[in-house]
Chains A and B, each alone.
Chain A
Amino acid sequence: MKNLVVVAGNGLLDRRAFLRGGAALAAAMTGYTLARPAAAAPLADDPWSRAPGTNVPAYGVPSRFEKNVVRTLSNPNGEPRTQHGRTPHHLLQGTSTPNGLHFVISHAGDADIDPEKHRLVIHGLVKRPLLFTLDALARYPMVSRMTFVECGGNSAPLFSREPIQASVQALHGLASCAEWTGVALSTLLEETGVDPKAKWLVAEGADAPALSRSVPIAKALDDAMIALYQNGERLMPGNGYPMRLLLPGWEGNMNVKWLRRLKLVEAPAMSYYESRTYAPILPNGKAYQFYFLQEVKSFITQPSPGLMLKAPGFYEISGIAYSGNGRISKVMVSADGGQSWAQAALHEPVLSKAFTRFRVPWSWSGGPAVLQSRAWDEAGNVQPTRAQIIAVRGQSAKVPPVTAFPSQHYNGVTSWAISSAGAVSHVYA
């Protein structure tokens, strides 16, 4: 353990400690979840080792012991309003969100679409309006990319004037990352032709409210995709089966699910969601419009509220960083509320507009600590502290319910306090 160099306050270790300390450090690591007490008896075979196991299912699901690794639902009985399902970041690792745990917001349930009958129409200011079936799209050249999708309202509880005690799932669970495969929208627009007067397109879903958003034509021609596959399989119903618009790095709501129509137009339609919902009010009474970008952000997932540190010792602090502006270039982690910082290791490959896993080894002394992460992206943007973003954007006059959206587009720092007992709580620091 001679190579374990403390590089920042409260026991943060050099990110290369794993490479140097190797197995010795790994053996000394303490898990966040409570381990079962070590058996006092000599080792013996358990029942599952003494007989054949269960039948291989046609479609696999996680172990029955993982039943708590689920989305949390805002409206489980389907009352006539929006439904949210949030990703359990604290129970996941790596950078790819399993399809069944990808966050979902559905404004009137998940449309149940027969793919044989679904159609995509591209019209408006084009030379040739065209209709595409799913079969037709499946014959086009495909592109794949890892990218995150994040609701513009993710992390909104951090606009509360007091820190809301809730899990990272409740606070930041409206962001997920997957490998999406589909047809580049630019490929289809080459075939329809684009009238030079077209400056926007209006995307519309086949769901009950025909959800509609306006997208600048430049984004459509840049990296937009008609996504058909999610982590290798067809899109989940809640993520837009059989096709959605994918706008890497841009507000989740614009990534229109169950996509059925793209109309090229001269000016934005000023749809409900762009002119009302995703237009955050500023302290001076004006409101931001066309926010679009999901800006550079990070948060620590392990440890986080709900997970316990059962004893002093070695831990790995781990979390997720991402930016709608490109690749993450650096993540710094503090264990003393931002007084000193250690650079985190970034799990390779670091991909543009995708989740990047960061890790820092930590020797917890057993005393109080405040953990924070802060990310930088390749475009030079820095994740703001909470104080910095609140100074510009204001904060709620009250402590709203954790599922409320007092504002939009919070990308400031999140702080977790560790008590001497090893409990994790949400604080502003």
Chain B
Amino acid sequence: MILDLERFQTQAGPRWSSLESLLVAIEGRPDRRLNPMEAEQLQELYAQTAVDLNRVTHGALAPELRQYLERLVARAYAELHYVPPTRSELWQPRRWLRIFTLFPETFRRQSRYFALAVLITVLGCALGGLAVHYDPAAVDVLLPANYLRNPVQRVHEEEQGKNQDRHSTLSEAAFSAQLIRHNLEVAMLAAALGVTFGIGTALLLFENGVLLGAVAVRYTQQGFGLFMSAWLLPHGVFEIPSILIAGQAGFYLARVLLHRREDRDVRQSIREWLVLIAGTAMMLVWAGVMEAFFSQHHEPVLPYWFKVAVGGGELALLTVYLLLIGRRKTDAEADNKLPAENK
């Protein structure tokens, strides 16, 4: 032991106590902001304590003192280098509402991953559809639920109102919540499976596509194409794209993780991933409401053409929203960037 620990502790102890009380004061504040005097004092005490830590590490056998100083230094380091969001930044409603423009902007910026999600789903659809088309017995394997396998029975039950018990406003509300929750779980899983380098996301989208293709061909084959469109479109035009966007988030996450070392702005990428999930969640809430309150009503209550038209209208609105909202701003930003890059 090179260091005279007793003398050292007597000399340095007061500055450790000052640093500790300063840290307790700062950590107790909700916004953790420092005034200039505190910042200066913290910087000075941090530097001195770091030197003390270095002396204890190399000059004394005092594991507990070392641990204590390490903790102090770590806390001071965190306070000096961390810029917390201010309270005004956090509680600005306008800031939260920005999600409505950020979502389509992010969607367009990362559209190639959306294209990949669409491609995989279409491949799944094609496989499911072709399998049922050429081998009707394949429905037993491809479609898990009995009601999906027997369109005749299902359409009859729906049109006769046998599921009327579900059609009261109260049970529709509960049904809607269950749908929203289930769809959100699937979407979040698709986005999170990006951590498997996108393989899990691809498998989930492909399976979804197979199911969709098989149902579509099965119902169309048996002459219920219009019923199916009227049944699925009002909520499907939001539900299916939202799962595709969740897949887009999954593939984007895979890309971020694969290029983590080269990517200098991982923080921004992760934020974009969160924005895509938040957008998906908003879409799925709407899809759940539509599925429970609107899609389950059939002729004669609601004419099929009307339901299809509503679905078409929703799709048009969604397309406009995703492709056009925030575009002017994005273009302006791009224009501003170009000359800077050329300089």
| Physical interaction between A and B | no
